[in-house]
A and B are shown apart, each in its own frame.
Chain A
Amino acid sequence: DTAVSQTPKYLVTQMGNDKSIKCEQNLGHDTMYWYKQDSKKFLKIMFSYNNKELIINETVPNRFSPKSPDKAHLNLHINSLELGDSAVYFCASSQGGWDTQYFGPGTRLTVL
Chain B
Amino acid sequence: AQTVTQSQPEMSVQEAETVTLSCTYDTSESDYYLFWYKQPPSRQMILVIRQEAYKQQNATENRFSVNFQKAAKSFSLKISDSQLGDAAMYFCAYRSNQGAQKLVFGQGTRLTINP
Binding site for B on A (CB under 8 A): 31, 33, 35, 40-45, 48, 55-56, 58, 88, 90, 92, 94, 97-98, 100-103, 105-106, 108
Residue B91 is within 8 A (CB to CB) of chain A in the complex = yes
Closest 9 CB pairs of A and B: A103-B45, A97-B101, A45-B102, A43-B105, A106-B43, A56-B100, A41-B108, A105-B44, A56-B102
* Interface residue SS majority, chain A: strand
- List 20 A–B pairs whose Cβ atoms lie within 8 Å, in order of A's numbering: A41-B39, A41-B108, A42-B105, A42-B107, A43-B103, A43-B105, A44-B105, A45-B103, A48-B100, A48-B101, A48-B102, A55-B100, A58-B102, A97-B101, A98-B97, A98-B101, A103-B44, A105-B43, A105-B44, A106-B43
Binding site for A on B (CB under 8 A): 35, 37, 39, 42-47, 50, 89, 91, 95, 97, 100-105, 107-108
Q: Nearest-CB distance from B35 to chain A (Å)? A: 7
* Interface residue SS majority, chain B: strand
With a cutoff of 8 Å between Cβ atoms, the chain A residues found around residue B102 in the complex are: 33, 45, 48, 56, 58
- The count of A-to-B residue pairs whose CB atoms sit within 8 angstroms is 51
State the CA gap A103–B104 with chains docked (Å). Answer: 14
State the CA gap A57–B107 with chains docked (Å). Answer: 22
State the CA gap A97–B105 with chains docked (Å). Answer: 16
Q: Nearest-CB distance from B30 to chain A (Å)? A: 15
> Is B101 a contact of A90 with CB atoms below 8 Å?
no
> Is A41 a contact of B89 with CB atoms below 8 Å?
yes
Q: Nearest-CB distance from B55 to chain A (Å)? A: 15
Q: Nearest-CB distance from A1 to chain B (Å)? A: 15
Residue of A43, A48, A101 most packed against chain B (CB within 10 A): A43
Nearest neighbor of A97 in chain B, beta-carbon distance? B101
> Is A41 a contact of B35 with CB atoms below 8 Å?
no
> Is B43 a contact of A88 with CB atoms below 8 Å?
yes
With a cutoff of 8 Å between Cβ atoms, the chain B residues found around residue A88 in the complex are: 43
